[in-house]
Structures are given as C-alpha cells and as structure tokens.
Structure 1
C-alpha cells in the first residue's frame, strides 16, 4: 500500500521516470508473489503424484489435492485483464523441477507410512515422468 502512495506522490510531482521505476518494482513484486504461490502448489501437486507413482494407487484425498493444486496454479498463473499467462511452459517446468527435491522429501514422510527415505523412494519412481504428468495436468 505504501508503494501506491509513493507512486501517487511521484506522479503528482511530475516525476514520471521515478514513477515508472516504481511501477517496474511493483510488477516484479507481483510476479514474485505469483511464482511463490505456484511453487507452493507445485510442491503439493508433486507430493501427491510421487506418492501415487510409488504406491501405485490413488486415494480420493490425493485426487482432490491434485485437482486443487492444479486449479490454484492455473488461477494464479492466468492474466485476468489482458489474457494469457504470467509464466510459460518452460518457466512452469523450471519451477516444478526446483520444487521436486523438497516434494520428494515430503512425500517420503507420507508414502508407505514413512518407511523409506527420500533416496530410496526416488528409486521407485520416474522423476521425468512425474514432472511431465504435472505439466500435462496444469495445461489441461
């Protein structure tokens, strides 16, 4: 909110270049927030896809969590006024790849009642396929 007041003051003072710099900063902050939200929901999505692949089953709870994560990712990534998306497919893939290690660790705590450490769980699944599946779900 304080940035908007500062922007208003800069415009009232005719300091357009400084106002434009502040607008750039606000846009960057907004995009950063969207990336953080997409990352958080990406972790949830990957946790359930990892558990599903490892245990070779799908619970109703996991299915609902997967659907919710996909919906929230798409909602966050959608540009409402101008249409299109904030992040393209390559950028989404990169976020999911970065989220994968923590997702694997968290999935290891839950899959098979936590019997296997992340390293062993990783041997039971196909990381590239899980990432591809996550992207397919997001792009449906």
Structure 2
C-alpha cells in the first residue's frame, strides 16, 4: 500500500515520469508474485503426480491436492482484465521443469512412508511422463 500512496503523491505533484516508473515497478512486483504462486502450486502438483506414479496408486487426498493445485495454477496465470495469461505454454513448462527436482525430493519424504531416497524415487518414475501429465492437467480446462 505504501507504493500506492507514493504513486498518488507523484501524480498529484505532476511527476508523471516518476509515477510511470513506479507503476512499472508495481506491475513487475505483481507479476513476480503470480510467478511465485504458480511455481509453488507446481511443486504441489508434481509431488502428488510423482507419488501416484511411484506407488502406482492414488488417494482421495492426493486427488484433491492435484485438483486444487491445477485450479490455483490456472487462476494465478489468468489475466482477468487484459485477458490472456501471464505465462505462455513454454514458460509454464519451464516452471514445471524448474519445480521438478524440489518435488521429487519432497515426494521421497512422503511416498512409501519415506523409505526411499530421492534418487530411488526418481528412478521409479518417468520425468517426461510426469511433466507432460502436469501440463495436460493445467491446459485441460483453462
């Protein structure tokens, strides 16, 4: 909110170039927040897809977490007023790829009650299949 007050002061005092710079900075901060939310929900989505693949089963809890993560990614990526999305399909895939290693580490703690190390869990699953599955879910009902 401090930025809005500063923006108002700049506009009232006629400092338009400085106000435009502040608007640009605020826009970038907003986009960065969206990207962080998408990344965080991507990790959650991947964790549960990895656990499903490794354990060759699913639970209602995992299904709900997957559904919620997909919806939150879709919601965070949507530009409401301008239309379109913040991230392109390629950028979404880059985000999933970036989140994958963290998701495997976390899934190793949760899958099979934590009996396997990260590398062992990674060897049980097909990275490409998991990433494609995640992308398919995100794009399916946008």
Structure 1-normalised TM-score? 0.98
Q: Which residue of 1 aligns with 2:92?
A: 92
Q: Which residue of 2 aligns with 1:27?
A: 27
Q: Which residue of 2 aligns with 1:117?
A: 117
Unaligned 5+ segments in structure 1 are: none
**Separation of aligned partners in 2, 1:70 and 1:134:** 8
**Separation of aligned partners in 2, 1:64 and 1:6:** 42
Q: Which residue of 1 aligns with 2:18?
A: 18
**Separation of aligned partners in 1, 2:5 and 2:99:** 36
The number of aligned residues is 140
Give, in angstroms, the shift of residue 9 of structure 1: 0.9
SS in 2 for 1:139: helix
Detail structure 1 runs of 4+ shifted over 3 Å in the superposition: none
Structure 1 residues 19-56: Cα deviation after superposition (integer angstroms, max 9, x where no partner)? 11101100000001011111111110000000001111
The alignment's C-alpha RMSD in Å is 0.7
Q: Which residue of 2 aligns with 1:73?
A: 73
**Separation of aligned partners in 1, 2:66 and 2:136:** 12
Q: Map 1:41-56 onto structure 2 (within 5 A).
A: 41-56=41-56
Structure 2-normalised TM-score? 0.96
**Separation of aligned partners in 1, 2:40 and 2:25:** 23
